[in-house]
Each structure stands twice: as C-alpha cells, then as structure tokens.
Chain A
Amino acid sequence: MQDLLKSYFSARDLNVSEEDCSKIAQQMEGLDVLRKGLDVRYLNDSDIGMYHRPLRRHDNE
C-alpha cells in the first residue's frame, strides 16, 4: 500500500514523504473498514434520486 501511495503521489506531482505515506496507509485502512460496510446496490436507488443536493425552500414541508 505504501509503495502504491508513493507512486500515486509522484504521478500527481505531490512530494509526500515516506513517513507520511506510512501514516496515510493506516488512514486508508480505516476508510477501507467503513467502505466494506457499504451495500452498493442499495445506494443506486432511482426512486429517491441518486445523490445529494443542497436543501431547497420546501424541504421542511
């Protein structure tokens, strides 16, 4: 993961140290745990619209 991150940052022209890559790898593991809890099919719900929009005038009614 750390090597992948290093290549990724380098390709994006971002100078990220090895130490930071190691800490970011840990953060990504935390996100992976949350990501694994998603049911992707349940998210693709065309009945309610596919994704968030900001609140509008009548949203309290």
Chain B
Amino acid sequence: MSKVQLFSRTIDELSGLIREKEVSPVEVTKATLERSKNLNEQVNAYINITEDQSLAMAMEHEKEILNGNYRGKLHGIPMALKDIFYFEGEVATMGSKIHQDFIPDYDATVVSKLKEAGVIFTGKLNMHEYAWGATTTNPHYGPCRNPWNLEKIPGGSSGGSGAAVSADMTIASLGTDTGGSIRIPASSCGIIGLKPTHGRVSKYGCFPLAWSLDHIGPMTKTVTDAAILLEAIAGFDRNDPTTVDVPTAAYTKNLNEDIGGMVIGINEDYFFRNVDPEVESLVRAGIRKLEDRGASVVHVEIPSLKNAEFAELITIMTEASTVHHANLKERAQDFGEDVRLLLEAGEVPSAVDYLQAQQIRRKLDVEFAEAMKQVDVMITPTLPFTPIDIGADTLSLNEEIVNFLDHIIRFTLPGNLTGLPSLSIPCGLSNGLPVGMQIMGKAFKEEDVLRAAYAFEKTNPMNGMKPKLSESKLV
C-alpha cells in the first residue's frame, strides 16, 4: 500500500486495516511523519514534530497488536494535538513565549485517554497564542497557513489542528473552543469540528483561556472519526469539577439512522444576518439537502441573541485577563501584540458588566432550551465569511469594513455561552475556500448532531475535493 494512501486515510479506514494486520502502525506513522515534514515549511501546522519518540511508540504498539492485544479503533493511529494539552515530561508551549520551556508533570485527561486507547503522538500543533484569537498568526512560532490557499489564515485558535487534518499531516486531532476555536478552523480548512456539550469532556490538564466557556473536542476528516474520538474522550472526571456525570452514548452506533422526521430549527434574525451571500447560499442549499432526505424545517425565536456578543466578549475578555493577570504585570512584553492588547482590555470591564453577561447567558440558556423543545437540531452558517488574508484584521462584509475578531465568532459564540453541542461540517467552496455549516443540538445530545452531520456528509457536499499541496521535498 502506498504512503499517499495511508496518510490520507481516516481513523475508521485505518483501524480496519490495522486490526486485520494489513497495515502496521509503523507504516502509517512513517507515512504521516514524512508527509508532515515535507509540508510543514509551507503550512507551519506543527510547532514540534516528535519523530523519534513517535516511531518508538509505533513500534511498541505494533508489537502489542501482533501479539494479539488490539485495544480498539484508535490503536496504532498517529495523531498530533494542539499544543495546549499537557503531556507528562514534555514541553507544552500554549503557542507562547512565556511557556516555551514549561514541562507539565502530569497528562491531561484527554491525553491519558488517548494513550490508553493506543494513539501514537506525532507532535504538537501550532495555535493562536494562549488560544486568545482566531487567526493562528503566531508571533513566536510563525503563522500557520490555510492548506486551501497558503496566503489565507486557517482560522483559530486551533488553526494548526485544522490545517494539519486538512493537509493530511495528521489522521485526526483535538482542539479547544472558547468562542469557536474548534469550529472556526474546521470551517476555514474544510474539515469536521465538534464542540461537545460543556461538561461532556474533561478539561483537566488543558491550559484555560476562559474557564466558563472552554471546551475540548475532535477535529477530523469525517463525521465517523469525530464520533470515534468523542467516544474515547467523553466522560465524567473527578479532576474536572465542570464535567457532568451523564452517561455517554455509543456515538458511532446510530450514525446511519434515517433522518426522516428530524426537525431542523432555523433562526433568521441572528444567524442569517449580515452573512456573505455565497456563504449563505451554500448553507441554505445544505439545509435543502437535509429536507430532501426527510427532515423538516421550522423557524425559532431566541430574542436574547441580540445581547449574546456582549455576553461573550465580556466573559472571555475578563476571564482570560484573570488567568494571565500576573504575567501581564510582570512580563507584558513577552506576549504577542494582539494578545497583550486583548489582555490589557480585559482588565477594564466592571464587575457589573461581568454579572450582566452571566444574566444574559441565563436568558440564553432558557430561550435555547425552549426553542430546542420544538426541534432536534438547529442549523446556521459556522462563519459569516471565508478565511481572510494572513496579517489582515479587518474585512469587507456586504460592503462594510468590519473588525475580524468581532465578526468571526458571531455564529459560534452562542454554543459557548450556553454549552450546547455544536459541529461544523464543510458544505462547499466559495472562491476556492471552504464554507462550514454549523449544526447545534440539545444538551448532552451529541448523537443527534452527529446523525444530522452524517446524513449531510453522505450528500458529498465537497464533491471529494481536497487542498492541492505539493510536497516540495518529494518533487
């Protein structure tokens, strides 16, 4: 089997081949590492490729599988994660200069779970510094580039994860999401990004951005792979007081269930206002495809969405500045300029602002819960526009110049404020750049979101298209 075939495969495909011993973990790992080394100069998705360590790990797992100890679908799968998760004894930079030599002495819960499942780690992926931004134009480790167009951002903050999955530099990845940081790069890079329900996945050993909004979730090539990864990482954890002891589902089991009778909620006032016309058209076409498969559409009202941006901005800014307060006092010059400014600005809002933001969140919780009683899922565009040029911080949206950061999180932030599960799935290309469709579900009902996404994926919305990259060292 050629290397090209191996690195471009999914978890689901590779797991069958590894289980049947048709492919070895060492072969897959070598192919993925070679692909990553050849492309990293262009894409800059990795901060660090841990070649020797991952090959040693692959050999151990290969031996174990040959001895008949196959652990399950993730056994022998090479994977790189965002450099925000703690690995015992390994540097975790969080994309920063301040933490460039930080070595945690324990594994994050998601890392332990993936280690137990037999994942082989190939390195640490680039990210927006401390996850506080959505471009992944990192001043310390260089800008990460969008594999669909290397002049464009991959989105962020999990931009390295989005770019690496899209460019086949990892089989799958994990990201973190505080205002959209899984779904924004997923949409921008044409992959699946799932932010599970708040409390579904432990954040123990993951550096915080804003603790009440932070989530961890899968970033993958397919919906099935997202379900496989969620099965592996979901669950209550005594080390994380925000996890909820709710039974997890067998997320891969019911993906193929008929969506006939599924009710989709649409909110026009907030989620379809001030959107790029081509993005809007692709998302509406996506909804029609689900209607063709038997789903129906109803319109839902969520009045407090008019205050959602205030609630998100106040909460994320002030919580992030609380996390970084000591370093802002002592080492302000060691932050990148954009993050320093956001952290300084986060010192300014008042306690009244913060508490009003939490009151708005309560209103949103109640209104979303009410709206969700009428529907199984809600569908929205993931982003109002396609990725911008690296280095830009404004853009023209419907003939108005707008601030990038304020607008990029408009449709993703309600998922963070309420904690409801939300997934981005590619629904086509606009000017050669991917467009994402967001599917939101009820609390702890990731299975509904995944089922709708799986049905949509079967319509082949990307028509098999992938980014065209040449491996300079191979040519």
- Enumerate chain A interface residues (CB-CB to B < 8 A): 5, 8-9, 12-16, 20, 23-24, 27-28, 30-31, 34-35, 37-38, 40, 42-45, 48-57, 59-60
Contact = CB atoms under 8 A, between A and B. Distances in A.
Interface string B420-462: 0000000000000000000000111100000000000000000
A45 B359 CA distance: 9
Interface string B182-212: 0000000000000001110000000000001
Interface in B322-348: 328-329, 332, 340-341, 344-345, 347-348
Given A24-B345, A38-B307, A43-B356, 17 more contacts: A9-B347, A16-B332, A16-B344, A23-B341, A30-B406, A34-B307, A34-B313, A37-B306, A37-B310, A38-B356, A49-B362, A50-B362, A51-B355, A52-B361, A53-B362, A54-B199, A54-B419
Contact of B419 (A8, A12, A44, A55): A55
A9 B419 CA distance: 33
A54 B198 contact: yes
Contacts of B38: none
Interface in B351-389: 353, 355-356, 358-363, 365-366, 369
Contacts of B353: 31, 35
Interface stretch (B239-247, B261-269, B282-290): B239-247
12 contacts: A9-B344, A9-B347, A14-B329, A37-B306, A37-B310, A48-B363, A50-B362, A51-B362, A53-B362, A54-B199, A54-B212, A55-B199
Q: Size band of the B side of the interface?
A: 35 or more
B256 interface: no
B231 interface: no
Interface in B271-325: 306-307, 309-310, 313-314
A43 to B, nearest CB: 4
Contacts of A45: 359, 362-363
A12 B347 contact: yes
Contact of A55 (B197, B314, B345, B349): B197
Given A34-B309, A38-B310, A50-B359, A60 B442 contact: yes
B396 interface: no
B403 interface: yes
Given A14-B328, A45-B363, A60-B442, A20 B340 contact: yes
B341 A20 contact: yes
Contacts of A31: 310, 313-314, 349, 353
Contacts of B244: 54-57
B362 A52 contact: yes
Contact of B443 (A16, A50, A52, A55): A55
B348 A5 contact: yes
Nearest to A36: B310
Contact of B359 (A16, A51, A54): A51
A14 B313 CA distance: 21
B446 to A, nearest CB: 10
B320 to A, nearest CB: 14
Contacts of A27: 341, 345
B369 A59 contact: yes
Contacts of A12: 347
Nearest to B403: A30
B27 to A, nearest CB: 42
A34 B307 CA distance: 7
A11 B444 CA distance: 45
A28 B348 contact: yes
